[in-house]
Chain A
Amino acid sequence: MRYLPLTPDDRTAMLAAIGAKSIDDLFTDVPQSARLDGPVDLPRVAGELEVERALGALAGKNATAGTVPFFCGAGAYKHHVPATVDHVIQRSEFLTSYTPYQPEIAQGTLQYLYEFQTQVANLTGMPVANASLYDGSTAMAEGVLMATRATRRNKAVISGGVHPHYVAATETVVHAVGVETQVLPAAVDAEAEVIAQIGPDTACVVVQTPNVFGTATDVTKIAEAAHAAGALLIVVVTEAVSMGLLRSPGEMGADIVAAEGQSIGNALNFGGPYVGLFATRDKLIRQMPGRLCGETVDADGERGFVLTLSTREQHIRRDKATSNICTNSGLCTLAFTIHMSLLGETGLRRLALLNHEAAVKTRDALKSIPGVEVLTPRFFNEFAVRLPKPAAEVVERLAEKRILAGVPYSRLAPDAGMDDVLLVAATEITTDADVAALKAALAEVL
């Protein structure tokens, strides 16, 4: 087997050094009844070629975003990723290193994490960011738990514009610890309705901008209302590129930002691995979940970086930790930070504007189709339309025509009574020909 360096002679010599007669002597602690005599019933060793053929056949059965007119978003976005990104993240020293627990030989990882934290803090407009969480949805759950710790209150008010899967992932976890959630009905443009629900027991208000219907909202007034009642404002962002064009959550008064960073540097990957961005205010640092990288000096006084504030974390605090999180999204944070370094502010702003432009163009094309009603009033790169037919059915019909037209809202929330709503995203990859193809095909099936 090509990954196993020991030869039969090595094994014999090593067993002799140990003083064991056979390999079975090393497994004697396993109860007799639980020892398997031979290999389980699965295929045997396979060469590279065989594996490539088998997996290539499975890959070949999927319609890839890059080969069709593509308008899917709803929390995962296709952007062009510079070739440098994937090259660098495959360097052995990044790909095959561990969590930087020995900082003297992990400054590469630690420095990019420090740079990543700074980029995320500046992008979100917040004072501090951590070294990433699993994804945006788990970041939202962690944000709600953090808010309950910080305020010693027990209830989260969640806007009807938050991605339903984010809400589900959050409720699953926070209900287990007895945190209450109040989720407002799905609505395209009603983030401000959370204000009326804030009470003395509210730990946090959660709003998303742009929301799941694409609507961008100035949340300043919501922040003021939350703060006046002693609650925190959590802003969820599922499309990180949007912050290159829209006012940052920090500028609008957010206390915690829980965002999905996939759209910078990371491929669609059928939903994962992605990278959760998590940022907050200085006074809440010690309540944060996840790893943090901090600056320090070495014995020569040279600047260096280490993982820090680990007294919040499970490996030190065990059952008193702020979260059970250990692993973060290491390599995905690296992809994010490389792509962001290449873009810089100039590139990010331009990229964001190109996204907006593509979405406006797509919106204009679709709204001219009879029966199609555009629902989203202000958007970044995604908007909702109402169709005269169930959106899931339309999407299937268009998929048969090799057009991935978007995400039916009913896929995220079957019970919302919005079966006719389609979420359509456009990015810098969207061409005029893609838009024309979508328009023609949609007009045909409606």
Chain B
Amino acid sequence: MSTMNTVGRPTTPNQVETRPATLTGGRGLLQNEALIFEGDGWGKTGVDLPEPKGDASDLGDLVRKDPIGLPGLSEPEAMRHYVRLSQKNHAIDLAIYPLGSCTMKHNPRLNEKMARLPGFSDIHPLQPQSTVQGALELMDQLAHWLKTLTGMPAVALSPKAGAHGELCGLMAIRAAHEASGEHEKRRKVLVPTSAHGTNPATAAFVGYTVVEVAQTDDGRVDVADLASKLGDDVAAIMVTNPNTCGLFERDILEISRLTHEAGAYFYCDGANFNAIVGRVRPGDLGVDAMHINLHKTFSTPHGGGGPGAGPVVLSEALAPFAPAPWVVSDGDGFRLIEREEEDAAQAFGRLCAFQGQMGMYVRALSYMMSHGSDGLRQVAEDAVLNANYIKARLSDLMSAAFPEGPCMHEALFDDEWLKGTDVTTLDFAKAMIDEGFHPMTMYFPLVVHGAMLIEPTETESKAELDRFIEAMRALATAAKAGDVDRFKGAPFHAPMKRLDETRAARAPKLRWTAPEGSNLAAE
């Protein structure tokens, strides 16, 4: 029997029977691929470079003498290594990737092609501005689309990911309170219990004290609790809308009114903007700052964990505090304002060395232009329709966390329906892997026990949704029928069996090191 944490997540792997391994470790198309450090690549290179004519004797003692410890691969070996590794990954191009809150939608290849145009990829961030007018114009166009879609007057493009955008928004809020002389007394940020971990982490990062706001039984912010905690010591609230339970905050106008009455700002976590793009403008909801994950709503690829991009739209009140750099246009074309002192004196500083994630700007704009305003509205509608369809078709077997009313872009279930089966949310997720599906987000949001958060996105066909639903129904039926073995040891058919995460953390091994007694490599 495995031990569990407070939300019912097993913290140790289950004991399973082992099956005979193959003799080589390979299995069918899946190769047993060693680390590059374990091969014969020491001294090898896969790049043909000319013989240097000079030396580095002018650098004397600064020259590195000891071995660095970097094996090389010829091109065919490199190609095999990485293609073999790739086959051990799930991908949105293989099947539905229903990670709630993560928005794994199709990544159009046109966007990749556009981002690789030399006019965007082969320009230096510090070239004379006269030589990059097209790049600045692209940033200006992206800003126009983002401002129009959100109904907000300003946008800071440079944040490099969602959490970086949160940082940007809270820094702008802090700067606004400093400008009005209220920063010293406004030291709290209110965050609902259902928020992404980045929200409280960001608020704390910027030096605020985080105060949690309760949730109602129907999965929304408890407005009475919020009102009781708002006061002249509160700098901002951070609310995700649609929220992490996949629900639209019905009282959002009341929330923003109360917040503004208290002299605080409304930071909206825009991770779920994809549910409402083209149908609702956050500016109409009283939002003061909201980051937009270009890698969620606007389809730039997640790439195994990044890079992201997190532009932040800002209200009139916060716009003057936006960080450098930003683009302005005048009669002479486009200009990049790189230092806060150059223009508005109130900018709160700079968030990164250059102008942010240009490669992602191109992809996002390509996506937006492809859809147009009508297509983007359809994106939100289909995303919400798909999620509600899944919710409707699974609710008889699984327990929806908030059965009343429609959800937005994601359907949330709890583990109430698994009671008495000895199957946990984690077990269920791992069994989904065996059926060829990536599991939904599990154990998040924290406010729902054993949470299963399913976000299909708008780029799934009805046929793929039905295939997914049938698999889920079959698994749910098996769990209820007592077919526990199917779950406890799962996955059985994945490239690996269940991995021991506790062991990894107990004695961290974070790099390859040469075996004892070998004379390979440094360290």
Q: Are A327 and B305 in contact (CB under 8 A)?
A: yes
Question: Does A10 make an interface contact (CB < 8 A)?
Answer: yes
Q: Are A341 and B46 in contact (CB under 8 A)?
A: yes
Query: Residue B497 contacts which of A275, A302, A305 (CB distance < 8 angstroms)?
Result: A302
Contact with B along A241-275 (1 / 0, CB 8 A): 00111111001000000001000000111111101
Question: Does B35 make an interface contact (CB < 8 A)?
Answer: yes
- Report the minimum CB–CB distance from A214 to chain B (whole Å): 12
Please report the total number of B residues contacting A with Cβ < 8 Å.
Answer: 217
Question: Does B348 make an interface contact (CB < 8 A)?
Answer: yes
Q: Are B160 and A135 in contact (CB under 8 A)?
A: yes
Query: Residue A66 contacts which of B68, B118, B196, B250 (CB distance < 8 angstroms)?
Result: B118
**Among B224-232, B260-268, B454-462, the stretch in contact with A:** B454-462
Q: Which residues of B contact A348 (CB under 8 A)?
A: 68, 70
Q: Are B162 and A327 in contact (CB under 8 A)?
A: yes
Query: Residue B510 contacts which of A50, A122, A272, A293 (CB distance < 8 angstroms)?
Result: A293
Q: Are A407 and B94 in contact (CB under 8 A)?
A: no
Q: Which residues of B contact A67 (CB under 8 A)?
A: 118
Q: Which residues of A contact B505 (CB under 8 A)?
A: 294, 308-311
Q: Which residues of A contact B420 (CB under 8 A)?
A: none
- Report the minimum CB–CB distance from A424 to chain B (whole Å): 12
Q: Are B207 and A321 in contact (CB under 8 A)?
A: no
Query: Residue A102 contacts which of B90, B130, B210, B350 (CB distance < 8 angstroms)?
Result: B90
Q: Which residues of B contact A441 (CB under 8 A)?
A: none
Distance between Cα atoms of A124 and B99 in the complex (Å)? 36
- Report the minimum CB–CB distance from B14 to chain A (whole Å): 8
- Residues of A96-128 contacting chain B, CB below 8 A: 96-109, 111-112, 114-115, 117-119, 121-123, 125, 127-128
Q: Are A295 and B509 in contact (CB under 8 A)?
A: yes
Q: Are A114 and B35 in contact (CB under 8 A)?
A: yes
* B contacts with A: majority SS: loop
Distance between Cα atoms of A349 and B56 in the complex (Å)? 11
Q: Are B304 and A330 in contact (CB under 8 A)?
A: yes
Q: Are A93 and B207 in contact (CB under 8 A)?
A: no
Distance between Cα atoms of A248 and B112 in the complex (Å)? 35
Most interface-central of A6, A98, A356, A360 (chain B CB within 10 A): A98
- Residues of B44-72 contacting chain A, CB below 8 A: 44-47, 49-56, 58-59, 61-72
Q: Are B62 and A247 in contact (CB under 8 A)?
A: yes
Residue of B nearest to A48 (CB): B110
Question: Does B270 make an interface contact (CB < 8 A)?
Answer: no
Q: Are A302 and B167 in contact (CB under 8 A)?
A: no
Contact with B along A309-320 (1 / 0, CB 8 A): 111011111111
Q: Are B369 and A109 in contact (CB under 8 A)?
A: no
Distance between Cα atoms of A52 and B116 in the complex (Å)? 12
Question: Does A366 make an interface contact (CB < 8 A)?
Answer: no
Q: Are B461 and A5 in contact (CB under 8 A)?
A: yes
| Contact of A353 with B52 at beta-carbon distance under 8 Å, contacts A84-B79, A98-B304 already known | yes
Query: Given A88-B86, A296-B503, A306-B499, 13 other A-B contacts at CB below 8 A?
Result: A50-B369, A55-B114, A58-B134, A61-B135, A96-B92, A107-B85, A109-B304, A134-B352, A138-B164, A245-B59, A331-B307, A343-B45, A353-B55
Query: Residue A43 contacts which of B52, B122, B133, B369 (CB distance < 8 angstroms)?
Result: B369
